[in-house]
Structure 1
Amino acid sequence: MGHEARPVRQLWVEDEKGRRRVPDPVRRAAVRALLLISVTLIQAMVAFFCSVTGSWLAFPVTVTAVASTVVATWSVLDVWITRQVWRQRNGVVSEPSSAARGPRREKHREDRRPVTEAA
C-alpha cells in the first residue's frame, strides 16, 4: 500500500525552436499601424451610427474617417518598408546556393590549371 512516485507532468513545455524576435524598428512601426487602424475602425463605426441616427456629426466624422483610412494605409506600408529596409541593412546573409557551388568550383579549377602556350 505504498505510494508510488509518479513523474510530475509539466503543464507548460517550452518549444526549443522558437521564432526570432521582430527587430525593434519594425515592431515600433507595427504598433503605430495597429493603433492607427484601431482608431480608424472606431471612427468608421461612429460615422456609421451617426449616419443611421441622422446626427449632424455624420458628415465631419465621415470625412475624418476617410482621412484616417489614408493615414492607416500609409502606416501599413510603413511597416512593410521599414521591414524591407531593416532586412537590407542588417539581415541579409550572403550564401551561395548549392546550385551555384558547382559552377564556381569548376571556374576555380580552370583558373588553377597552368596555361600552356603553343608557339
Structure 2
Amino acid sequence: MPRQPLWVEEAATRRRMPDPVRRAAVRAVIITSLTLIQAMVAFLASLTGSWLAFPMVLSSVGSTVVATWSVLDVWVTRQVWNQRNGVVSVPSSSARRLRRERRRARRAARTAERDAARIRRRDAGRRLSRA
C-alpha cells in the first residue's frame, strides 16, 4: 500500500509582505503580546492586593500606548512602502501602463542615441578618407 505524503505543497495565494512591513508587523505582535501578558499580571496582582498592582497597572497603560503605536507603525510602513514602490500591478492598473510607456520611451531614446552615434562614426570615417 503506497504511503500518502504528510502534506501537499500549494502555491501561495497571497504575495509575501515586503521586509520593512513584515519587520514592523513582527515587532507589533511581540509588543502587543507582552502588553497582554503585562495586563494579565496587573489584573491578577490587583485581585490579590499585591503591592505590585499599582506599578503594573501604570506600566500596562504605558504599554498599551506603545502597542497602539506599534500597530499604527505597521499601517504607516505599509502605506509608505506602497507609495515608494508602487502598487501590485493588476491588468487594470494604471501603474503598469505608465511603466510600460516609460520603458518604451527609454528604449526608443537608447535606439535613437545608438543610431545617431553610428551615423556620426560613419560620417567621421568618410570625412577623414576624403580630406
> Could you tell me the TM-score, scaled by structure 1's length?
0.68
Counterpart of 2:5? 10
Match runs of 1:45-84 below 5 Å: 45-84=40-79
Larger RCO (alpha carbons 8 Å, 6+ apart): 1
Letter in 2 for 1:45: M
Task: Please state how far the C-alpha of 1:56 moved relative to its aligned partner.
Answer: 1.0
Which structure carries more helix by proportion?
2
Matched, 1:33 2:28: yes
Q: Which range moved further: 85-94 or 21-30?
A: 85-94
For structure 1, the residue ranges without an aligned partner over 5 or more in a row are 1-5, 99-119
Identity %: 72
Distance 1:59 1:12, change over 3 A: same
Letter in 2 for 1:25: P
Matched, 1:90 2:85: yes
CA distance in 2, matches of 1:62, 1:55: 12
> Could you tell me the TM-score, scaled by structure 2's length?
0.62
Letter in 2 for 1:42: I
- Superposed CA RMSD in Å reads 2.2
